[in-house]
């Protein structure tokens, strides 16, 4: 706790600080609530995406037999050549969102490519898209969780440290100034009494 001055100026300063803390605390509490709700919402999105990945992975597994029979390398066609990310502001935290996923143009000889290749390629692309979405959602949670931690620390600082500290400082200063005023009144009375006694001696 910083050392305080027992003056009227310090009392005013402490009251202004308390007013500011009480003004900003509800905003921080609201931000904390919004972040908690958004994290919960995105965690549900993460679960949904994970379930889609499992389902798509199981579907691709069914193609494993035909993949093994061909020498075609699908990797160049399913590796995105462009991933476009946007951003959204959530209670002051900027999180990434997946805007667009661009795959290379598929060009192959129709006579050499198996009949099932087009459909298999679409399954693989869908899996890659879900995989990228999964990574983006994980990043969203990381950003929001960090922001929630910082906001919670600030809420706790205001609630448990700054506001009680200001209240205690105000109490101490008021007691001190009250005592000083009482002492001043007492000294004034004693001085007045002495003056009166001295005046009576000359009567």
Q: What is the pLDDT of residue 185?
A: 57
- The correct CATH number of 8-173 out of 1.10.287.3240, 1.10.3720.10, 2.60.120.260, 3.30.460.10 is 1.10.287.3240
pLDDT value of position 177: 87
Q: Which two tokens stand for residue 190?
A: 């004693």
Question: Max Cα separation, the chain?
Answer: 136
Give Cα separations from 117 to 41, 57, 91, 96 (angstroms): 37, 17, 46, 33
Give the pLDDT of the chain (203 residues) as one tens digit per residue. 568 888 889 989 999 999 999 999 999 999 999 999 999 999 999 999 999 999 988 888 877 777 667 777 788 888 999 999 999 999 999 999 999 999 998 777 666 677 777 888 888 899 999 999 999 999 999 999 999 999 999 999 999 999 999 999 999 999 888 878 777 655 666 555 565 556 555 55
- pLDDT at site 76: 85
The H or E element spanning position 62 is none
- Residue 2 has what pLDDT? 63
What are the sequence ranges of the domains in the chain?
A: 8-173
Q: Tell me the DSSP string of 174-186.
A: HHHHHHHHHHHHH
């Amino acid at each position: 706790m910083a050392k305080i001055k027992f003056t009227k100026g310090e009392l005013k300063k402490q009251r202004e600080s308390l007013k500011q803390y009480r003004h900003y605390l509800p905003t921080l509490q609201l931000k904390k609530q919004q972040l908690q709700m958004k994290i919960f919402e995105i965690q549900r999105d993460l679960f949904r995406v994970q379930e889609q990945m499992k389902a798509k992975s199981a579907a691709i597994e069914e193609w494993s037999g035909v993949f093994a029979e061909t020498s075609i390398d699908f990797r160049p066609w399913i590796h995105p050549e462009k991933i476009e990310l946007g951003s959204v502001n959530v209670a002051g935290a900027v999180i990434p969102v997946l805007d667009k996923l661009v795959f290379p143009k598929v060009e192959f000889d129709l006579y050499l490519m198996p009949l099932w290749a087009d459909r298999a390629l679409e399954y693989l692309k869908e899996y890659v898209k879900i995989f990228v979405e999964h990574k983006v959602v994980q990043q969203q949670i990381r950003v929001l969780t960090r922001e929630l931690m910082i906001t919670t620390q600030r809420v706790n600082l205001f609630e448990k440290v700054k506001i009680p500290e200001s209240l205690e400082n105000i109490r101490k200063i008021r007691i001190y100034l009250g005592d000083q005023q009482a002492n001043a009144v007492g000294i004034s009375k004693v001085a007045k009494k002495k003056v009166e006694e001295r005046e009576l001696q000359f009567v």
